[in-house]
Amino acid sequence: MSQAEKPKSGHPDTLGLQLLKLVLEMGPLVIFFFTNSSAGIFAATQAFMVATVVAMIASRIVFGRIALMPLVTGVFVMVFGGLTLWLQDDHFIKMKPTIVNGLFAAILLGGLGFGHSMLRHVFGDVFRLTAEGWRQLTLRWGLYFIALALLNEIMWRNVSTDTWVSFKTFGIMPLTMVFALSQLGLIKRHELPDSTSATSESKT
């Protein structure tokens, strides 16, 4: 679930820009995969860190900002990647997805516990939903992040490093896209007409 980015004012969000967003998200993972295949996990971790920084800089230049979730993920890549290289222990980079997904789940579900939908603050300029719609969407994404955290724990503790890297690169993104598409029905059911969106938002 990446926060929707908008290009700088005056530049319409074209198909080309959408494809660029996908490249910036998937590029570091693909580099991670191929470097691991040819040079091992530690060289792959170093390449992953460099590619992540390059992707964030490119996002800042092209879109005018770095979306929140890629920014948080990037920080964790630097921290856990650095620990992996410093201590020569690949457990840190393998645990990173568990911790990041657990953090996202805690933020989303914790916000619901206090009556706030954190997704609304992230996607409020993209979707216009009822308060119940935001609550259900936030709950579902929170539970999904928990599932991803548990799945990562199962994978890295029970399969080879090469299999885990393949799963991280080519498994997580398709799963997330399928899950996101499965939420379109909920979004459609709770979408507000433009004429009432402002009024409803002021109440939530």
Residue 8 placed within a domain: no
- In a domain? residue 176: yes
Residue 58 domain flag? yes
- Using alpha carbons, list the distances in angstroms from residue 40 to 4, 46, 47, 78: 33, 10, 11, 18
What is the domain count for the chain? 1
Give the SS3 label for residue 109. Answer: helix
Give the domain extent around 26.
15-203
More confident residue, 202 or 73: 73
pLDDT at 80 over 70: yes
9 has pLDDT over 50: no
Checking if the pLDDT of 6 tops 80, the result is no
Residue 7 has pLDDT above 70, yes or no: no
Residues facing residue 129 across a β-bridge: 191
pLDDT digits (tens, 9 = 90+) for 26-36: 888 899 999 99
> Which pLDDT value is given to residue 202?
46
4 or 39: which leads in pLDDT:
39
Identify whether 143 is part of a domain: yes
pLDDT-based confidence at 125, cuts 50/70/90? low
| pLDDT at 22 exceeding the cut of 60 | yes
- 19: burial class by Cβ within 10 Å (0-12, 13-18, 19+)? exposed
CB 81 within 8 A of CB 46: yes
Q: Which two tokens stand for residue 98?
A: 């568990």
- Distance in angstroms (rounded) separating the CA atoms of residues 156 and 7: 37
- Of residues 178 and 119, the one with the higher pLDDT is 178
Q: Is residue 61 part of a domain?
A: yes
Residue 7 lies in a domain: no
What does the radius of gyration of the chain's CA atoms come to, in whole angstroms? 18
pLDDT digits 0-9 by tens, 49-63: 999 999 999 988 888
Q: Which residues contact 140 (CB under 8 A, 6 or more apart)?
A: 183, 186
- 41 part of a folded domain: yes
Residue 4 lies in a domain: no
pLDDT tens track for 134-193? 999 999 999 999 999 999 999 999 999 999 999 998 999 889 999 999 999 998 998 888
